[in-house]
Each structure stands twice: as structure tokens, then as C-alpha cells.
Structure 1
Amino acid sequence: MGMQRIGFLGLGAMGSGMASRLAAGGFTVSVYNRTRAKAEALAGPGITVAETPADAARDVDVLLVSLATADVVEDLLFGTGGALAAAAPGTIIADMSTVSPDAARAFADRVAAAGHRALDSCVLGNAQHAKDGELRFMIGGDAADVTALQPVFDVLAKEVVHLGDHGKGATAKVAMNLLMGVQMQSLAEAIVFGEQAGLDRGQLIKMIAASGYSSPMMKFKAGAMARRDFERADFKLALMRKDLMLALSDAQRYGVPMPATSASYEVLTAAVNAGLGDLDCAAVLSEVERQSGV
């Protein structure tokens, strides 16, 4: 009963699914989103719309944060009218955004200095997983705080892994997302190569999806590529580029060569520059086609 009141910042595809799931699970949820219409669309039993980030954080037991970039996290937590100043002492701030490990550690230090508790609570899954409570959480921070949030995880997650200190959850998320970025690139290349060599695109995609080379994610995105279903962005291409940039930045520090990630980043950058950033990351297919003269 100690974790019944939840504040929620960020109602993208993942955030809206999680907020709805929590309300259906009996929690009271105060939601804030910079585009207010997204928050108002969720208003109903168990969900109230906050006017400001501070309002969302007032009188809650835990504040969940699901935002696009570290800059937005900075603004909504620490900026003018930010959530942190309104949170009750000792509130758990669980940041589910994909940010650099350095940013996660810096946020945790500032949250602690303000008298609160922080977790980098990164998630794996898509919007449907969020709605169904099938997410996987990778967490950095104090083990006692992870335990305290277990009632929330029971509703949202099918797996929770505590990896250690602050920043470890963020590190794991970056590692996982670079895998996705490279797989999207290789899938697009295989499709365009096969088609240019005379194979039927539909048959090729079916074979790839059914093969031992295909991961569940690749099978899912192969379907999106087959349908050219890029407008409904399950994971925006621009955010995929951002996540590969985070990986490459830390790889320089650790002396890890990343030629495949670097190549994927370059194509994603070209795709963003071509105006594809707000489409699903599967739209990298369109950029590979363009570069191939298709």
C-alpha cells in the first residue's frame, strides 16, 4: 500500500501504455506530458492530468519518468516548475528514459542531494508490451529502492534485473539498443540486396522472418518493412540514432572498436537528414533503398 500514488512524466508510446496499465492495476496516477492532448486522452478512472511536472510529482510515492532525451529529463525534473522541487522528501524517482550512463549518474546525484532516491529503471519492450505488463526492467541504483518498487514492477514487468550502482541500467539499455540498431541496418541491407539481385521482396522477407537468423525483434520489424508501416513509430528512427551515438561516445572512452555500430549510425544520420527521423526505425529501409538507387 506504500506505493499507490504515482506521478508519471512522458506519455509517448511506452509511457501512455505504462500509465494506463498502472491505473487499471489499482494505482492512482497523475500524468504530465508536454503535448497536453496526449495526457488528456488518458484521463479517466485512476488517471488525472497534471498542469505542470511539479503538479504530477506532488503527494506521490514514486515518480516515473519516460522521456526522449537527457535534455528533456533535465528540464522536467530540474527546470523551472520542475518535478523535483515539489516531490515529498524520500520520493523514489525512477527514470525509464534512455540516457547516457554519465547522465544517469549525474541525475542520481542531484536527486539524492535534493533528499530523494533515484533509480535508472530502463526498459526493454514495445508499446504493446507496456500495455500488457510484459516489459523487462534493467535497473541501476540501491537494491532497497528496487525492492520498494516491486508492487509497481509486478504490474508492469515480466522481468526485473538489478545490475548494480547508478548508471548500470542505462549502460545495459544502450548496449541492447545498439544491437537493435545494427540488426535494423543489416535487415534493410539484406532486403534491398536480395530484391536488386532479382528475388521477390515478399518471399525474401518471409524467409528472413522464419529463419534461425531472425530474432523476435527482427521478425517484428521485418513485418513492418514488408508493409512499409513506418508512420506508426513504435521506436522513432531519430531516437535510434541518438542511442547509437550514446554507445559510440562511451566506446571511445573504453577503447572498444564499433565498426558495425558506426556504420549503422552513419546511415541513420543520413536518414534523419532526409526527413525520416519521426518515422519508425524500420524506415531505415527507405534510406538504404535511396542510397541503392531504388
Structure 2
Amino acid sequence: MAHKIAFIGLGAMGGGMASRLLASGAAVTVYNRTRSRGEALAEEGAVLADTPAEAANGADVVFLSLATSEVVEALLFGPDGVVGGLPQGAIVADMSTVAPDFATSLQARLAETGHRGVDACVLGNAQHAKDGELRFMIGGTADDVTALEPVLEPLAKEIVHLGAGGMGATAKLALNLLMGVQMQALAEAIVFGERAGLDRGVLIKLIAAGGYSSPMMKFKAGAMARRAFEKADFRLKLMRKDLGLVLAECQRLGVPMPTTATSYDWLTAATNAGLGEHDVAALLAFMETVSGLEHYPRPGEAAA
């Protein structure tokens, strides 16, 4: 039986996933607070809803791809929220990066309203979403994950059920932690090498080709080389938010996180310097400023 899907949140990742689902033949209704983001999907065959409740009306599965837990809360339970239109027994799959205890409390609240919930966190970028090459890390009951798998198949390269609710969110934070500290280390390596007399372009090529580099570091090294900061694949302020969630969870667990804490501080400083809406690769621009490399344009200056 074909599933009716609602997709809430049409940023780079959400929009890519919704487009992929449409291409697979699924019936998809979409909602975004900035309505214009759904217009291209409407041209692909999506129904463009005016409220989350309208999008969820009659849906078997609702996907959420949102920036913060506060937005998730508002669009699920607020006025004209998802639960107001969602049929009993339907699944809410939250792909947003949130705290594990928020994920578990969300699923408990959904159970009280007669719905099912999982934290279905993803690894990948916007292109992976469009190509159906995402990796899913899911927390929830085995029955709910099994019911969700056929809907995820057009999107997924891999689906891993990690256990109870909150485990998907925990895994996502652990992996985003690695991204955050790598971005800081990459920016520092480039600035150090250039200040010591190395050619930046040559150094970046050495980093990208070297055994020390991860696929993510190679990808972001290219973005730094092109100074591709304005079109954010992963906004700097959201990277800061995610490391803040890690530190809060580790404080609860009594786990020291010295490297993560330092990366969070630099992300905070870069956000306060006005770079929060830029890609996390803009950490390089912030490091240039504090390191005395003043001949590079600040993000936005070249375009201006």
C-alpha cells in the first residue's frame, strides 16, 4: 500500500529528501514556515499546505527536519500543529538534531495523543538527500522502525536501529561532535601553515589528499579553498548549537569534553562576530581575523 507522507521543514536537507520521495512516486504534502521554499516542490508534484496540521491530515508518516527543539515543539503541539491533523497510529519521524532527553519526552507525548514517534537522525548532506544516499540512525521501538523502513528506502543507503528512543539523537550528536572539532582543526591548520610561509592552495591540497583527512574534511577543505561561505551546507550557528547539546548531555553524564568545549567556544565567538548564518567553513574567516591575515575579504564583502 502506498504511504501518504507529510514533510515539515524544507531547508537544504528537508527539501532534498522531499524531492527524492516525490521522485520515488510517493504522495507528499509539504509545509515550511517560509512558504516560498515549498513552491519548487509543488512544481514536482507536492501538495503545499498552509499549516502543519493541514500537512499532517491523513498522513501515515510525518517527517520533521527542523533547526531546533523549540521549533519542533511549536510545529508539533502549537496552534495548527501536526498533532491536530494527524490520524491516530501515524508515525512522527523527527530528523532534527535535538537533545536525547527531548527526543524521549517527545515520543512519550506523542504516545499520549495516540501517535508513534521515533528519532530518525540522518548522516549526509543535501546532495546525499537528493540522491537517496543518506544513513539513518533511529531510536524507537522495533515495531515502529520496521513500519517506517519501507518509507525510508528511497532515501536511505543504510538504516540502523540503535535501540530505544533517544539513541538516534545521541548518535547524531556524537558524530556532529567530530565534525565540529574537525572544522576548527582544519581552519587552524590552514592559518598556521600560511602564517608560517606555506602557499595556502598547496597546503589545502596536501590536507585533502592526506591520510589525516576525513571525507568531511576534504569536502570542507574545498569549501574553504573556494571561500564558499554564503551558501550554507551546514550553518555555523547550528554547529554551535549541536556542540552545546553535547556539552549539556556530558555535564549530566559527568563526561569531560575538553576538545569539544574549546570548539564550542570558538564557534560561539565566530557566531558573535556575525558568521552564524554562514557555512561552518567560515570558521576559517574568523581564524584569519584573529590571526592577523587581513588581506582576505570578510564573508559577504566580495559579493557587496
After TM superposition, the score normalised by the length of structure 2 is: 0.95
Secondary structure in 1 aligned to 2:114? coil
Find the aligned partners of 2:23 and 2:274 in 1 and give their Cα distance: 37
Tell me by how many angstroms 1:160 deviates: 0.6
Tell me by how many angstroms 1:44 deviates: 2.6
**2:301 aligns to what?**
none
**1:244 aligns to what?**
243
Secondary structure in 2 aligned to 1:176? helix
Secondary structure in 2 aligned to 1:265? helix
Find the aligned partners of 1:288 and 1:106 in 2 and give their Cα distance: 39
Matched, 1:284 2:283: yes
**2:153 aligns to what?**
154
**1:92 aligns to what?**
91
Matched, 1:34 2:33: yes
Secondary structure in 2 aligned to 1:30? strand
Matched, 1:57 2:48: no
Gaps of 5+ in 1: none
Find the aligned partners of 2:8 and 2:261 in 1 and give their Cα distance: 32
**1:11 aligns to what?**
10
- Residue identity opposite 1:69 in structure 2: T
Secondary structure in 1 aligned to 2:106? helix
Tell me by how many angstroms 1:45 deviates: 4.1
Find the aligned partners of 2:26 and 2:130 in 1 and give their Cα distance: 15
Find the aligned partners of 2:234 and 2:195 in 1 and give their Cα distance: 27
Find the aligned partners of 1:136 and 1:45 in 2 and give their Cα distance: 24
**1:117 aligns to what?**
116
Tell me by how many angstroms 1:289 deviates: 1.2
How big is each residue's C-alpha offset from its partner over 1:40-81, in whole Å with a ceiling of 9 and x where there is no partner? 121134311001000010011100000000000000000011
Secondary structure in 2 aligned to 1:162? strand
Find the aligned partners of 1:86 and 1:244 in 2 and give their Cα distance: 34
Find the aligned partners of 1:232 and 1:272 in 2 and give their Cα distance: 16
Find the aligned partners of 1:150 and 1:70 in 2 and give their Cα distance: 24
**2:131 aligns to what?**
132
Find the aligned partners of 1:141 and 1:195 in 2 and give their Cα distance: 48
Find the aligned partners of 1:290 and 1:264 in 2 and give their Cα distance: 17
How big is each residue's C-alpha offset from its partner over 1:101-136, in whole Å with a ceiling of 9 and x where there is no partner? 011011111111100000000000000000000000
Secondary structure in 2 aligned to 1:131? helix
Tell me by how many angstroms 1:258 deviates: 0.8
**2:140 aligns to what?**
141
Find the aligned partners of 1:70 and 1:44 in 2 and give their Cα distance: 30
CA contact (8 A) 1:121 1:138 kept: yes
CA contact (8 A) 2:132 2:156 kept: yes
Q: After the TM superposition, which residues 179-194 of structure 1 pair with which residues of structure 2 at under 5 Å, given as runs? A: 179-194=178-193
CA contact (8 A) 1:248 1:262 kept: yes
Matched, 1:167 2:166: yes
How big is each residue's C-alpha offset from its partner over 1:238-291, in whole Å with a ceiling of 9 and x where there is no partner? 000000000000111111111111111011001110110010011111111111
Find the aligned partners of 1:249 and 1:142 in 2 and give their Cα distance: 26
CA contact (8 A) 1:26 1:46 kept: no
Find the aligned partners of 1:242 and 1:220 in 2 and give their Cα distance: 21
Secondary structure in 1 aligned to 2:224? helix
How big is each residue's C-alpha offset from its partner over 1:164-197, in whole Å with a ceiling of 9 and x where there is no partner? 0000000000000010000000000000000000
CA contact (8 A) 1:23 1:45 kept: yes
Gaps of 5+ in 2: 294-304
**1:104 aligns to what?**
103
- Residue identity opposite 1:121 in structure 2: A
Tell me by how many angstroms 1:225 deviates: 0.3
Tell me by how many angstroms 1:85 deviates: 1.6
CA contact (8 A) 1:27 1:46 kept: no
- Residue identity opposite 1:88 in structure 2: P
Secondary structure in 1 aligned to 2:145? helix
**1:208 aligns to what?**
207
Q: State how many pairs are aligned.
A: 293
Secondary structure in 2 aligned to 1:29? strand
Question: Is the deviation greater in 191-200 or in 40-49?
Answer: 40-49
Find the aligned partners of 2:283 and 2:83 in 1 and give their Cα distance: 37
Q: What's the RMSD between the two structures over aligned residues?
A: 0.7
Find the aligned partners of 2:193 and 2:142 in 1 and give their Cα distance: 49
CA contact (8 A) 2:19 2:44 kept: no
Tell me by how many angstroms 1:90 deviates: 0.3
Find the aligned partners of 1:285 and 1:102 in 2 and give their Cα distance: 33
**2:292 aligns to what?**
293
After TM superposition, the score normalised by the length of structure 1 is: 0.98
Percent identity of equivalent pairs = 67
Find the aligned partners of 1:177 and 1:96 in 2 and give their Cα distance: 14
- Residue identity opposite 1:7 in structure 2: A
